[in-house]
Amino acid sequence: MKLAVVGATGLVGTEILEVLQEHKFPYDQLLLVASERSKGKIIEYMGKSHVVIGLEEAVAAQPEIAIFSAGGSASLEWAPKFAAVGTVVIDNSSVWRMDPSKKLVVPEINAKEIGAADKIIANPNCSTIQMVLALEPLRQRYGIKRIVVSTYQSVTGTGKAAVDQMMAERQGKTPEMVYPHKIDLNVLPHIDVFQPNGYTKEEMKMINETKKIFSDESIQVTSTTVRVPTMGGHSEAVNVEFKQDFDLAEVRTLLENAPGIIVQDDPANFVYPMPIHAHKKDEVFVGRLRRDESQPNTLNMWIVADNLRKGAATNAVQIAEYLLGNKLV
């Protein structure tokens, strides 16, 4: 079985390789693929030296699975070329997510939608993944009417250049600017480009992707996405209005028994999710569970996950594991 990792030299690509190793993902041949400027680079991985190859060479090799984390333009051009030779592409970019012919998958929620004909599968937005995973067991029990989410997103979500900007600012140096403002000791209520309706593209991703993953256009979603100077992962304050009333003890039990979720909810002892503890973890952490006393049937939640893990690499590897386990490749 040939497995290609496209964008292997980037932040998410590096994380994908770590997750593949940790999960003991089975393959016979690993193809590390990147842009022309990285072609020929040597990457040491699991005791072997791998030469980075270009996209044309990777397509010619006809891998069974290709995990893409190379940006939207590369995915738009090259994912169909891989699919045409029989490769199943798992794509981390946003270009295929809202395509009605493509599945948008969080394995714990909707992997069963994947069929043998699906050659391009979209990985959702990092912030969407952690939110919908935490909401899914509650949605199944109570139904969801409305979601209000405010995010606190790590600079790692922008990439290595953003991390470099923040660290240079922290050292008192003049950095190459990725953001329109300083990020260290600051908060930017601006992720991705602003849309005509005043929302950013990131905010609209959360709104639209949530409805698609849940297969429910009736759910009302509003979002404010914010960049904060952290490294370990993304945090979210989520206010969710259910169709039915709920019991807080039952909410905790549902979350504790759900796959991929760890409940950290003991504020009396200062136990609650934080990105510094979510770093390098595959799970989504949930806490600060409390009833919204301003309106009925509404719960407040605090959700944290490593955006490079469950928000990207881990989710993609889990999709690949599902493909193998169900003989879809």
185-196, pLDDT tens digit by residue? Answer: 999 999 999 999
Residue 227's domain spans which residues? 127-307
Residues 115, 141: one domain? no
126 is catalytic: yes
**Angle, vertex CA 196, rays to CA 192 and CA 197, nearest 5:** 95
DSSP assignment of 39-73: TT-EEEETTEEEE-B-HHHHHHT--SEEEE-S-HH
Q: CATH number for the domain including 146?
A: 3.30.360.10
Question: Are 285 and 158 contained in the same domain?
Answer: yes
Tell me: pLDDT of 37 over 90: no
* Element of type H or E holding 146: strand 144-152
Active site residue 279: no
292 shares a domain with 207: yes
Q: How far apart are CA 187 and CA 147, in angstroms?
A: 23
Average pLDDT over residues 191-216: 98
From 50, 190, 234, 279, the catalytic residue: 234
Which amino acid is present at 131?
M
| Residue with token string 């497995």 | 3
* Two tokens, residue 189: 């209520």
For residues 32 and 111, membership in a common domain is answered with yes
Distances (CA, A) of 69 to 105, 142, 238, 249: 16, 35, 28, 40
Q: Is the domain of 216 the same as that of 116?
A: no
Q: Are 154 and 231 in contact (CB under 8 A)?
A: yes
Please pick, among 50, 126, 190, 277, the residue that the annotation labels catalytic: 126
| 162 plus 144 within the same structural domain | yes
- Look at the chain and report how many structural domains it folds into: 2
Q: For residue 36, is pLDDT > 90?
A: no
Q: Which amino acid is at 256?
A: E
Same domain assignment for residues 136 and 67: no
Going from the C-alpha of 25 to that of each of 17, 87, 305, 309, 311, the distances in angstroms are 10, 17, 22, 15, 19
The reply to whether 78 and 137 lie within a common domain is: no
Q: How many whole angstroms separate alpha carbon 195 and alpha carbon 93?
A: 19
Each residue's pLDDT tens digit, 255-280: 999 999 999 999 999 999 999 999 99
Residue percentage of the chain with pLDDT more than 70: 100
Residue 156 has pLDDT above 90, yes or no: yes
Q: Label residue 201 by pLDDT band (50, 70, 90).
A: very high
| Residue 110: predicted pLDDT | 98
Assess contact for 309 and 282: CB atoms under 8 A.
yes
CATH number at residue 85: 3.40.50.720
Do 217 and 72 fall into the same domain? Answer: no
* Residues 57, 164 within the same domain: no
